[in-house]
Structure 1
Amino acid sequence: MNNKKVGDIGLILTKTIEILVKGKIQKVGYRAKVMNTADKLNIKGEVENIEDGNVRIIAQTENEEKLNQFINQINIKNTLIDVSDVSVKSINTDKIYTDFKKIVKKKETDERLDSAVFYLKELIKVTKEGVGYSKQSVEYSKQSVEYSKQNVELTKENIEISKENLGLTKQGIEENRKFHSELIYRFDKLDNTLNKRFDVLDNLLNSFHKDTINRFDIVDAKYGKISENIEKAISSINRVSINIEKLLEKSERDRDDYKKSMQDIVGAILKLAKEKN
């Protein structure tokens, strides 16, 4: 069977695989990590250290998606564990695994001791990180003290500024009073000027109103005469129209009589012609 690297397209198509892991992975709790990951994903199989310093894993499941997740999650890189290569190949086996176990050889520590070492190292790592956080907290505390000192200085400055503002406020009140008096005087003066101009405007409007009424009266009188003349003209037109209609009716009757007379004359001529023949 050909080996395939993690990340190859179409990597896992089987249910049972053999994984060869290389790197700094022995005596650092790597197998305990593998077992914990297998337990979370419900992967069955086994893990063991081999003499060349690598780790061999058999993984078996009916869920290929979880098998891919398992391969990705055991590719670990942290302070203690440094995986440099993960090779995977499918295998044919009749063996059915019912759990996931670690194979411990004669010269290896037992499973509990191996796990204890791993967790102890993890504890050391966390403790170091905690010390780092403590140092940062001390630095923050120092900075907070400096900020407090600065705030005290700012408070003193604010007090001085408040005193200055108080003096400015008294001066501002006096200036506001003068401004208010001047403003009232100017408004009174403007009010008088506007009243005078409104009186002039009112007189102009009244004069315009009277003149407009007179002009409308004249127009109304002239319009009355025009209207009377128009009514007479319309009456005359109506009479002429009636006379024209009567003339048309008489002309129509005369035409019919003329047509009938002509027909009688033609008939008489035709009759006379026949008698002569």
Structure 2
Amino acid sequence: MKRVVVIAKGDVQRVGYRDEVERIARKLGLTGYVENLKPYNVKIVAEGDEDKLRQFIGLLKIQKYPIFVEELDVSWHDATGEFSYFEIKRGDWREELFERLDAAGRLLHRSVELGEKSVELGE
């Protein structure tokens, strides 16, 4: 068992990135957490089988709108076994609410753009 600490940089806050990280980690059976770091990065701490962790790291570099991970700083450590599941560590509820609204607004705007392009193309 190993531990990996990852700092994700790029467009990773206020875009739903932590939700995606949690989904991937749970699917791979990893434990740990993901949290926002001020001002713009996201910290991920995960424990599990080294092969699963390597697979996890490969899946973290999401570049699909609205998420755009530019860089992953990765460090390896021995696992401590302190986690029983993978979770999102959330901040102040007001900030979290605004983050959700921002993400929803971006996705709605993108959906409208794509709809307009479809109409232009006659699809």
In percent, how many aligned pairs have the same letter?
Answer: 28
Q: 1:78 corresponds to which residue?
A: 64
- Between Structure 1 and Structure 2, the one with more strand by share is 2
Taking the aligned partners of 1:44 and 1:115, their CA distance within structure 2 comes to 24
CA contact (8 A) 2:2 2:78 kept: no
Bigger RCO (CA 8 Å, 6+ sep): 2
Per-residue CA shift, 1:22-41, capped at 9, x if unaligned? Answer: 11211122111211222222
Taking the aligned partners of 1:78 and 1:125, their CA distance within structure 2 comes to 12
Shift in CA distance, 123/67, structure 1 to aligned 2, threshold 3 Å: farther
Q: 1:20 corresponds to which residue?
A: 7
- Report the alpha carbon displacement of residue 48 of structure 1 after superposing the two structures with TM: 0.6
Shift in CA distance, 70/31, structure 1 to aligned 2, threshold 3 Å: same
- Between Structure 1 and Structure 2, the one with more helix by share is 1
Taking the aligned partners of 1:124 and 1:89, their CA distance within structure 2 comes to 36
Under a length normalisation based on structure 2, what TM-score does the superposition of the two structures give?
Answer: 0.80
Unaligned runs of 5+ in 2: none
Which of 75, 87, 92 matches 1:89? 75
Unaligned runs of 5+ in 1: 1-13, 139-277
Instruction: Tell which structure's C-alpha radius of gyration is larger.
Output: 1
The count of residues paired between Structure 1 and Structure 2 equals 122
SS in 1 for 2:73: strand
Shift in CA distance, 114/39, structure 1 to aligned 2, threshold 3 Å: farther
Under a length normalisation based on structure 1, what TM-score does the superposition of the two structures give?
Answer: 0.39
- For 1:122, the aligned partner's letter is L
Q: Within 5 Å, which residues of 2 pair with 1:107-256?
A: 108-110=95-97, 114-115=99-100, 117-137=102-122
Taking the aligned partners of 1:40 and 1:123, their CA distance within structure 2 comes to 27
**Cα RMSD between the aligned structures?**
2.4
